[in-house]
Amino acid sequence: MKKVVAYVGSRNKNSSTLKLVSSIKDAVLAISSSEIKFNIYTPNNCNIMPDDGSASAFKTGVDKIEEARIDDSLQLKKEIKDCDFLILASPTYAHAVSGDMKILIDRITYWNHIFYLANKPGQIIVTASGNGFLKVAAYIRQILENCGVVFCDDVIQTDSRILSDIDITNSALTIVNQLNLSNEVFVPSAGAEANFQHLKARYINSNKSFFEPNYWKKHGMFECENLKEYFQKVLGEKK
Ligand SMILES: Cc1cc2nc3c(=O)[nH]c(=O)nc-3n(C[C@H](O)[C@H](O)[C@H](O)COP(=O)(O)O)c2cc1C
């Protein structure tokens, strides 16, 4: 069974972002011929605490809040790691992601340096009254591409462009198509590829007792010429 996980960064009880993601979920379940589990998380059903600021996860790979189990990050991070398609949906707040989306992004920033979500397809969904939404989508894309996520086209809804049933069906079709491609190697963005080369050069001679260079060594990342080759390796190990 294929798994889709969506995190919606709105705690609005009448969230338009949640309504949009729920409509896409219904369309995905209606279209797909195979069984799909589609879990939607929001700050109202999943408590993610702000980062503690220690930056220790970059050195140790251990997220202390997750380890202490004082919020729901253990479950959400596992769901994100294990899913076949990831959706990150945020309203636009003051031309930026919502505070709740930023909290989640802060908590997974250390995944940026290890391409922890290598070869995972995803979609960014942004809602707004009408300003600043491009910056929001670009920001989520930049951070998550550096975790290894490969995004299809963004879904944007504003007050003057409420998505139609056809738009929702198209978005659902994209997700179902990507799920059907999950035995394929996706093409990383130029930015993610450049970041892979940058980090490779930085870690190759670093002390391997630190988490990040150690992770690269353990996962055979130094032996990969490029990020696409690493995606291929990750896919091969998944099969
Ligand atoms: C605190 C706050 C800040 C906002 N800032 C912006 C903004 O900068 N640009 C914009 O177009 N809409 C802005 N909005 C409107 C929301 O982005 C928009 O209504 C969105 O669809 C709300 O999603 P939700 O119903 O899922 O919470 C803001 C709304 C709130 C509550």
Domain ranges of the chain: 2-185
Domain 2-185 has CATH 3.40.50.360: yes
Fill in the DSSP letter of residue 110.
G
Q: Measured from the CA of 12, which atom of ligand 1 is nearest? A: 27
Q: Please give the structure tokens belonging to residue 44.
A: 């109202």
Q: Whose CA is nearest to atom 3 of ligand 1?
A: 93
Ligand 1 within 6 A of 90 CB?
no
Distances (CA, A) of 127 to 15, 95, 197: 10, 11, 34
Ligand 1 within 6 A of 161 CB?
no
Task: Give the pLDDT of residue 33.
Answer: 86
Instruction: Give 127's strand partners.
Output: 91, 157
Q: Please give the structure tokens belonging to residue 38.
A: 């589609």
Max CA pair span of the chain:
54
Ligand 1 within 6 A of 93 CB?
yes
Give the whole-number percent of the chain exceeding pLDDT 70. 100
Q: Measured from the CA of 128, which atom of ligand 1 is nearest? A: 17
Task: Give the pLDDT of residue 155.
Answer: 98
C-alpha closest to that of 114 among 39, 195, 191: 195
Task: Give the pLDDT of residue 132.
Answer: 98
Ligand 1 within 6 A of 15 CB?
yes
Say which amino acid occupies 216: W
Ligand 1 within 6 A of 177 CB?
no
Residues of the chain with pLDDT under 50: none
Decide if 7 contacts 87 (C-beta within 8 A).
Answer: yes
Radius of gyration of the chain (CA): 18
Q: Please give the structure tokens belonging to residue 43.
A: 């700050």
Q: For the segment 67-77, what is each residue's pLDDT rounded down to a tens digit?
A: 999 999 999 99
What is the 91 CA–ligand 1 centroid distance (Å)?
A: 6
Instruction: Give 8's strand partners.
Output: 89
Burial classification of residue 157, based on how many CB atoms lie within 10 Å of its CB (0-12 exposed, 13-18 middle, 19 or more buried):
buried
β-bridge pairing 96-97 and 120-128:
unpaired
Task: Give the pLDDT of residue 238.
Answer: 83
What is the 167 CA–ligand 1 centroid distance (Å)?
A: 21
93-107 as b/e: b if 16+ CB within 10 A:
beeebbebbbbbbeb
Distances (CA, A) of 69 to 56, 66, 103, 148, 223: 17, 5, 16, 26, 35
Give the whole-angstrom CA distance, residue 163 versus residue 66: 36
What is the 196 CA–ligand 1 centroid distance (Å)?
A: 34
